Structure 1
Amino acid sequence: MTSTLVIGGGISGLAAAQALLTEAGHVRDGDEVVVLEASDRVGGKLRGEEVAGQLVDTGAEAMLARRPEGTDLVARAGLGDDVVHPTGARAQVWSRGVVHLLPRRTLMGVPADPTMLDGPLTGPEVGRALAEVVEPLEEQDVSVGELVSSRMGPAVTERLVEPLLGGVYAGHARLLSARAALPALLRAAQDGQRLQDAASRLLPAATDGTQSSAAAPVFAGVRGGLHRWPRALAELLSDAGVRVETGVVARELRRLPDGGFEVVTGPRPSPTAYRADRVVLALPPAPAARLLADAAPEASRALAGVETASTAVLTLALDAAALGRLDGSGILVPPVDGRTIKAATFSATKWAWVGDLGRGAGDGGGDVVYLRASIGRHREEATLQRPDAELVQVALADLGEALGRPLPRPSDAHVQRWGGALPQYAVGHIDLVDRVRADVARVPGLAVCGATYDGVGIPACIASARRAVADLGQGQ
């Protein structure tokens, strides 16, 4: 009999528990798998709340569809028929007070054809990007900002790369690792290639402006919201023999003389101890560092140095008639312009199911339009130290300015705060992850996974969970 504790019930922890099942889809006879989640529900950043009488996502709303891990796990949870893709509405960037369509064929803001940047960039800035400076690059890692600005000019970084990085990492180009965030472009630069040539090679071929029906969608979601997925997955796990416990905070991890582990949970006056042969830590860097302090001290010290970004997602329900027409799927906001919001999603135009959800949902049977606004970047926590109502008013003001008209008062609004939500991949992050995994590997039966290691996106988190389970098997 082998007992395994998975600490953390976000998508990484649930994916790890699923990977522990046999091919027949159940816990191996005689084994025990337990998932411990500190909050009141599983799912982590995949969360839904009721806004204007409807359940909508208040955390992640989409994942990369071109990686198979996410859609595969959705299907395993029984929701494969509910996988949906965004509408054809295009993303926009609000730069220098004007909303522009996000230029086509850019890789995290790096253009395959700089001539397409006219609008978000001025003529001289486009010219600077076209005259890309190819300089020798011998460093193993540099920041995204250093890589792009030194070659294509600061405007490409400030007006395009920064808002896209803000959406993915809630971070800053001058601090984020190019090796972690843009590895293919960094390798191209190290090989003496132009970034625009590398982007052109890596991106789909240019078209007449329409997307081929055969083209693979970039993003995917779940009809009714991604928040449905972890709940369905937890039910699947429970049916397969996994015990999923919520409201359980792990405070200490101890290695036992027999080679197993003891995890201490609960309040200090009356703690509860769980014993297991193996442990998977599917946690953010800070709690993972605390639990690893005794078992893997070098990994603990490394993880303690990983900074995180706190964010808030504001969901607004607005009367459709009073709001008027919305164009595009939303807007990205360059931090250089000093706005409070970093992005907004026009959920009703981005997702057909959200548009349908709002029909007749308003007072008196009118239609409701759902919008999302994101606030908060790395090292900008002071922005979030305001009451919910004030954040809503600031977001409405920014959105009204972007749309060129005042927005109506929301019929309902929800503010979801995500403290320490996104680990920051600083320059050298991949080497840090290697050190963490090497130290953890010295402890048989111990593994780590989550957004800290191989990418902050959902498919990357699932891949890290499956790797962690594979590492457990190698340590047996």
Structure 2
Amino acid sequence: MSASESPADPGHVVVIGAGIAGLAAAHRLLGHGARVTVLEASGRVGGKLLAGEIAGARVDLGAESMLARRPEAVGLAREAGLGDRLRPPATATASLWTRGALRPMPKGHVMGVPGTAAALAGVLSEEGLARIERDADLPRTEIGDDVAVGEYVAARLGREVVDRLVEPLLGGVYAGDAYRISLRSAVPQLFEAARTHTSLTEAVREIQGRTATAPTGQGPVFMGIEGGVGTLPLAVAASVRARGGEIVTGAPVTELRRTASGGWRIAAGDRVLHAGAVVVAAPAPAAAGLLRAECPAAAAELSAVEYASMALISLAYRRADAAVLPEGSGFLVPPVDGRTIKASTFASRKWGWIAEEDPELVVVRTSVGRYGETEILGRDDQGLVDVSRHDLKEATGLAAEPVATRVTRWDDGLPQYPVGHHARVARVHGHVAKLPGLALCGAAYDGVGIPAVIASAYAAADRVHEERGHTTDPVGRPGGGAGE
């Protein structure tokens, strides 16, 4: 398409970014009857969802599971033809590697915040257990408009709860620091409950009770996909193309400008597109660069969003060599214990389809990297394999040589949600709302989990659709929702 070509019709929507957010937005827009073009800077679709293999076994090299008690991710998977490949974990029994031993992950918590001190012996000291019991006697803690998870929980239950229970769970989701992460943005249900309860443990027990009696509370909490969650964006991309959408990879957008007619001009390499609307589904730094000319206030806010980097180390073992692994799906590691890895997943135990593909192979995965950590991620791939094997041996006794290893690095992979994140997001959306035909979506806004990212994509698609003057009930709508 040349720069001199006449502007496209108002029904043309350009989506910038072909991660799961951009693909979900494109899928939704096609249901609304729009003509859709997706532009992706890299050479592949999928973003942080990536399917791969090790020693011939199909595995995920990015996120491996989806929250199943929200409808967006499993709904999109079914629409994309993956319904018969949805699989719950074969086991969801995880451990904590803390105080020199693998200990059962306590039940009855909300993101590591316990509702009772029961079953925490060994994880917490006697003093830490007693500190939880004092929560009911403390006066209400005013949390205002927002507060750091660690700050609030430590004030109510003590730092041990934060350091040994909350940190490993939040670290797995955000690769962040519990003492910086926003309670309102990261654990919104706990934030709301804490505003109406004097006791934090009582608030946790109420949330647990609501979850247990909810219509979706009886099914699996998480769901995977046979072949890997990384197959989801591939299936959605195929569906988008089959329905007439265009997806162009290797097409970094270099300019996004409003036109005199009220539409948008998008330059990507030697292509210049004209569209009635644009959905920007790129990470915050890239989105900031695209918006700098037309929406500098939003660009400034997005430029301040910080990211954490991490790496996943996949190791394949002969089954006989891996017999020392304990039961369960893996373990989390509190950073206070000074270990290098922050988690390990026994992938062949967790996902039955991996074990079925090669019964003589056991795949284990570790992760490293939290916000602010740079030294560990500066090591070469072999260095990351070596520290992973060292920690696995210390935790489980697994000392055998793996038959294959693979390191996947996610530089600036996870946006951070510090205190005040919700207010920043509101300001960004407020600035963007002044520009008709423009919407944003992705992990930088209302949740980093796959369902939350898809929900943000649906909201962005619905917004530009409604501005085009069409009805608000899309074809095949799988359900929406707010961020996590």
Shift of 1:39: 1.7
Which secondary structure state, in structure 1, belongs to the residue aligned with residue 118 of structure 2? helix
Q: TM-score, normalised by structure 1?
A: 0.92
Shift of 1:382: 2.7
Q: 2:386 aligns with which of 393, 406, 409?
A: 393
Q: In the alignment, which residue of structure 2 is the partner of 1:434?
A: 426
Q: 1:16 aligns with which of 7, 13, 25?
A: 25
Q: 1:19 corresponds to which letter in structure 2?
A: R
Counterparts of 2:324 and 2:398 in 1: how far apart (Å)?
A: 13
Q: 2:244 corresponds to which letter in structure 1?
A: G
Shift of 1:447: 0.3
Q: In the alignment, which residue of structure 2 is the partner of 1:119?
A: 122
Counterparts of 2:217 and 2:256 in 1: how far apart (Å)?
A: 50
Asked if 2 retains the 8 angstrom alpha-carbon contact of 1:38 and 1:249, the reply is: yes
Shift of 1:281: 0.5
Q: TM-score, normalised by structure 2?
A: 0.91
Q: 2:172 aligns with which of 163, 167, 171?
A: 167
Q: 1:91 corresponds to which letter in structure 2?
A: A
Asked if 1 retains the 8 angstrom alpha-carbon contact of 2:309 and 2:371, the reply is: yes
* Aligned-pair Cα RMSD in Å: 1.7
Q: 2:375 corresponds to which letter in structure 1?
A: A
Q: In the alignment, which residue of structure 1 is the partner of 2:68?
A: 65
Asked if 2 retains the 8 angstrom alpha-carbon contact of 1:188 and 1:194, the reply is: no
* Higher mean C-alpha deviation, range 386-395 or range 41-50: 41-50
Shift of 1:379: 1.3
Asked if 2 retains the 8 angstrom alpha-carbon contact of 1:343 and 1:374, the reply is: yes
Asked if 1 retains the 8 angstrom alpha-carbon contact of 2:57 and 2:354, the reply is: no
Distance 1:436 1:206, change over 3 A: closer
Q: 1:251 aligns with which of 249, 254, 277?
A: 254
Q: 2:346 corresponds to which letter in structure 1?
A: F
Counterparts of 1:172 and 1:98 in 2: how far apart (Å)?
A: 23
Counterparts of 1:307 and 1:382 in 2: how far apart (Å)?
A: 18
Between the two proteins, the alignment pairs up a number of residues equal to 453
Q: 1:249 corresponds to which letter in structure 2?
A: P
Counterparts of 1:206 and 1:294 in 2: how far apart (Å)?
A: 45
Gaps of 5+ in 2: 1-8, 469-484
Q: In the alignment, which residue of structure 2 is the partner of 1:186?
A: 191
Matched, 1:203 2:212: no
Asked if 1 retains the 8 angstrom alpha-carbon contact of 2:328 and 2:350, the reply is: yes
Matches within 5 A, 1:66-465: 66-132=69-135, 133-204=138-209, 215-266=218-269, 271-326=270-325, 327-359=327-359, 367-403=360-396, 405-465=397-457
Shift of 1:410: 1.2
Counterparts of 2:174 and 2:217 in 1: how far apart (Å)?
A: 30
Which secondary structure state, in structure 1, belongs to the residue aligned with residue 262 of structure 2? coil
Which secondary structure state, in structure 2, belongs to the residue aligned with residue 203 of structure 1? helix
Q: 1:321 corresponds to which letter in structure 2?
A: A
Distance 1:122 1:330, change over 3 A: same
Which secondary structure state, in structure 1, belongs to the residue aligned with residue 81 of structure 2? coil
Q: Deviations over 1:280-336 (max 9, x none)?
A: 001111101111101111111101001011111111101111121422111101111
Which secondary structure state, in structure 2, belongs to the residue aligned with residue 331 of structure 1? strand
Distance 1:59 1:336, change over 3 A: same
Q: In the alignment, which residue of structure 2 is the partner of 1:50?
A: 53
Counterparts of 1:102 and 1:331 in 2: how far apart (Å)?
A: 8
Counterparts of 2:424 and 2:467 in 1: how far apart (Å)?
A: 21
Distance 1:118 1:239, change over 3 A: same
Q: Which runs of 4+ in 1 moved over 4 A?
A: 204-207
Which secondary structure state, in structure 2, belongs to the residue aligned with residue 393 of structure 1? helix
What is the aligned-residue identity percentage? 45
